[in-house]
Chains A and B, each alone.
Chain A
């Protein structure tokens, strides 16, 4: 049987097919935003055609599809979601509008001319009802059921497609939200409903309400899409399992995700780090810098000891999303990023992007100079083999566009192109460095995995700036997310916020709490036909020093709660605190805030990847010699065909390696070798790295 991964991005729909022989095949189709299932089936059709089959015959032989889609992210960012109403606790209807007082989320303090934040639910659709639960879970004011009914009817009258029910303290006592949901489902049949205790049963109302509202906002679109996809797949003889890739890098069923649409934000891009790990199967707990540079953006994820970091501190555009998501930093730097001159006369690149449409000047539609244009002029991306020759590009238009930039800077076209390349590299390097400073990592001990179609031309430049000793450009770089989807666990995450002092907590109560989450997990996995005995449990506790403000999530040694395991937990907390913040305060007591349980079915370990070759034979690996521009002048540079390279081959810079999805620059001071999975491994050549070692080793804090 075959396995498929399908990643629907903003521009392209990527499809990877792992055949019975363990070989990966790559397919790409255009994304069809108005009817996304079309693009999915176009990609499936290409795969089927490759195997000389009809789509139904092909799908009948597919046992599993893992699917990622940016549908939810796009709907949220472009404000194209459902009309949402909110039913909330009287006295607190403005929580999501006040947004904890944030004015300028992304910009400088010297910029006060910012558009005010527009909450997803306008105030007239945020309807207060009488009810109040105390932080202990005790009911202060009973739910006014009639007001809930009236509110639901009014929201229907206003034309709402979705209703978010958000009450204070619902994380500790969900009775009012549950009852309100029953009333709303009767009063407003067919309306998509979310409740805050189901979406995110964790304290802090702004974060919980915001997440619940977002889930309602993208919920109707997501559930409609998933229904349609499931229907069409089954019409086409697909009887395997369809799994959706979630923001936390776990996969789940369409039914589960339809009710918790917010979990599908970042579905797709969040798989790249899993892909980066899979590219390095022999490295074990490696320190990996996962990067993914596409047409408009550059995603960064730092994996210390091979662990994919997740965080609940997420913003998607201007909106707060507090579910656990893979900790990605996104920068507006991609192949389509536009070069411009600012009011101080300085060259800037991005964050505006020409995207795929109109695209770089070379595409012939617009005249912005983009990063891709610079790469074409410099020869880092071959103009005669762009996307494997599927697309013709006009380098003369690139030169004209860059000339305009050069004229401002008093530079030749070539120097300006080099300046654009250098500037975008500097932007990406600075962002990586800043992220590492925030987390306390020394990036010079990391291996960079360069994913994304555009990264190959920049990876060495970034590595040189950051003194990263080794860069791996995977054979599947251009389909990094689709590739990463092979490397995800099926799983669920549970959470319960319950504020407890370590010295006062009753262990029986804690045990009961974890047992409750475990029972829920067994029930959910039972529905999927999973073998309950195979489940793996990862319980954690979010905790902090009494009266302090910095929470840390610490692993519990196991599912048994005893004095011993809790003491171990507290010890580990002190240790982790020291690791994260460089100090600890062991004389203070500790408080427990949120108890979490991650339950997963371990995936089968991935075999070494074999990518189907293009059919070219070994002797034409050396395709041509081209004039390529570097900082110290133009150089006749060999261009190699990646499809013809074999494991063990090595190339010394300068060189360019191309295939039909990407292009990789090997500068003069780098060596390149081909690893067993035909990924390219770039290393600063020994002479060059000796120079970089001379810069003193730094320690801080």
Chain B
């Protein structure tokens, strides 16, 4: 193998990273979809033809971290029929190893001096993917076919020529074809961009140097990650997490269970004890489980490595998930909600196990995603509208060393989504928003506490319609804290009509009337570490800020504060903190008062 000096190596490495970021810039500048252009529901990356990961700095983990399988599928199918200028399109979970149908992946083989050296990919959430319901998020689809159009590896551009017959067939099978077409060309333009950037770079350094550089990149990342794993005591650590139900078989939790074994500098993630695949739309195929769980492991390693993960980081990690389980679903299982459920549960199971293995990098669970889809009439325009938003979500969990911030949310996206503005929402939708504010006490306590729970309320000033709580979760099954930190408290959804509150569970579809007040009380994140070790000043600050009540300060954190003077009673505090730990105190939502209550 050719030797590469460290400066050339760093230059090549950074060039791959910035090419990935710039591919995303191209899509953000040229796509019309809100999800892709603004919410970053979009991933880019660079792989070797054997599926090895070269660079993956940007994206949603489940869209690209398991992409080796997708590339291997393309290589197998098109073995001798891959040429410069080709573009492949894939969205099928079963033949293309994708997570769910709306995430379409475009792939381009990159040739340098006639040698196939790389694949680049852009994968993004499309406005529609066909199927029985718009948006591909329907809990009661009969099978994968009802969820949308399945696209196995398909050559849509041959040597620079669009195969318009195929593309038009695809667009004819989705809603809003003009819009989807713009987005597809935007993604293909980003691939063309990557081709130019990468071939330029290879021309500058030479193929052998670049290959040697990649080998070194992978070797260095592998060494660093193995070094991290080697510091973990050998043994088996377990974690588990469940979703409230699968959306079809109601009120029956579905479990993801993990046994994580550390052996020297290797990690084995064994999901064999997880529940069987379900009728509802929460199943993950193996590639999705692989992507999500590997990402969940990597975020526990040194943040200094964050920008440098590649194939080498993944090599020491093995993911076992027998076929037929909710973590390795067989055709024709439905997968619509896979990124959120059981994607979240896979992440939480890994976080729990890794937290036991590496306490100094432990992370608590986050408040669950609280998504709702509203379909109703905007009586101002007389037109129907669809509303989806992240505004109702609670907040992230704590990590060792830091409280969780209030506001960031949605674990499977690693908090890459943004919340909207009230002033924009009120113009766009016929709802007057009454409140978007912190709910005191509705988070997991800890030495580092979770971000706060959020109280979101609005009144429907538009016409009648329906609300689907399709991607909500966390009313019953609670995410865990870490290292003695408290769990994520439960969340609740209500409709207030004629002065009465009706509770709405996750994964349901309900009728909506004019004048209804919709209330989402969404929990914050879990805590890390024993709350009685939280610095007294931090507890006092939380009480002054009204995010922790005096009762919780005393009962959970062991800090006695005089409510008149707002001063800490040090003697009493010392006594409280010296006493044996109390049983974990439960926070629940009072369905009369619609606020958090200590049980």
Which residues from chain A sit less than 8 Å from chain B, CB to CB? 91-95, 97-104, 107-117, 122-124, 134-135, 140, 168-169, 171, 203-207, 342-348, 409, 411, 419, 422-423, 426-427, 430, 433-434, 437-440, 499, 547-550, 580-583, 585, 695-696, 698, 700-701
Contacts and interface: CB of A to CB of B under 8 A. Distances in A.
A319 B224 CA distance: 34
Pick the 4 closest A-B CB pairs, nearest first.
A98-B407, A103-B408, A116-B405, A123-B545
Given A92-B436, A440-B29, 20 more contacts: A91-B436, A94-B406, A94-B437, A101-B409, A102-B408, A109-B416, A110-B309, A113-B399, A113-B401, A113-B402, A117-B407, A168-B422, A343-B305, A430-B18, A437-B25, A581-B29, A583-B32, A696-B196, A701-B29, A701-B186
A319 B380 CA distance: 36
Contacts of A93: 437
A315 to B, nearest CB: 13
Contacts of B298: 110
5 contacts: A101-B415, A110-B298, A207-B421, A426-B11, A437-B26
A107 B435 contact: no
B26 A549 contact: no
Contacts of B192: 700-701
Given A101-B419, A102-B418, A550 B37 contact: yes
Contacts of A547: 428
B546 A124 contact: yes
A110 B299 contact: yes
B10 interface: yes
Contacts of A102: 407-408, 415, 418
B401 A116 contact: no
B438 A205 contact: no
B402 A419 contact: no
B547 interface: yes
A100 B220 contact: no
Contacts of B308: 344
A262 B302 CA distance: 37
B262 to A, nearest CB: 20
Contacts of A104: 415
Contact of B547 (A107, A123, A135, A168): A123
**Chief secondary structure at chain A's binding surface:** loop
Given A110-B298, A113-B399, A345 B438 contact: no
A135 B193 contact: no
B197 to A, nearest CB: 9
B38 interface: yes
B325 interface: no
A168 B22 CA distance: 37
Interface in B393-409: 393, 396, 399-409
A499 B427 contact: yes
B6 A585 contact: no
B379 to A, nearest CB: 14
Contacts of A344: 220-221, 224, 305, 308
A205 B423 contact: yes
B7 A423 contact: yes
B29 A345 contact: no
A440 to B, nearest CB: 6
A134 B426 contact: yes
Given A124-B545, A345-B220, A205 B422 contact: yes
A95 B32 CA distance: 28
A336 to B, nearest CB: 21
B21 interface: yes
A323 to B, nearest CB: 17
Contacts of B145: none
Contacts of A423: 7, 10-11
Contacts of A499: 427
Contact of A98 (B7, B37, B221, B419): B419
Contact of B303 (A95, A101, A113): A113
Contact of A91 (B10, B196, B396, B437): B437
Given A101-B417, A430-B18, A135 B29 contact: no
B13 A346 contact: yes
Contacts of A140: 432
Contacts of A550: 32, 37-38
Contacts of A123: 438, 545-547
A108 B59 CA distance: 10
A109 B10 contact: no
B34 interface: yes
A701 B306 contact: no
Nearest to B21: A434
Contacts of A696: 196
Instruction: Name the residue in B15, B393, B545 with the highest tally of chain A Cβ atoms < 10 Å from its Cβ.
Output: B545
Contacts of A117: 405, 407
A433 B419 CA distance: 30
Given A91-B435, A205-B422, A695-B203, A108 B6 contact: no
Contacts of A427: 14
Given A110-B306, A204-B423, A695 B6 contact: no
B172 interface: no
Contacts of A426: 10-11, 14
Interface string B277-306: 000000000000000000100110011111
Nearest to A582: B30
Contact of B306 (A100, A111, A581, A582): A111
Nearest to A112: B299
B22 A434 contact: yes
A423 B8 CA distance: 9
Contacts of A99: 405, 407
Contacts of A134: 426, 432
A701 B547 contact: no
Given A116-B404, A346-B10, A580 B426 contact: no
Contacts of B417: 101
Contact of A700 (B196, B304, B416, B546): B196
A372 B189 CA distance: 40
B77 interface: no
Interface in B292-335: 295, 298-299, 302-309
A579 to B, nearest CB: 11
B592 interface: no
A701 B545 contact: no
Contacts of B151: none
B252 interface: no
Given A92-B422, A135-B423, A701-B193, A112 B363 contact: yes
Given A110-B305, A345-B6, A115 B402 contact: yes
A132 B573 CA distance: 42
A108 B200 CA distance: 26
A100 B21 contact: no
Contacts of B193: 437, 700-701
Nearest to A96: B407
Contact of B399 (A100, A112, A440): A112
B407 A100 contact: yes
Contacts of B200: 695, 698
B34 to A, nearest CB: 5
Instruction: Name the residue in A102, A437, A438 with the highest tally of chain B Cβ atoms < 10 Å from its Cβ.
Output: A437
Nearest to B295: A110
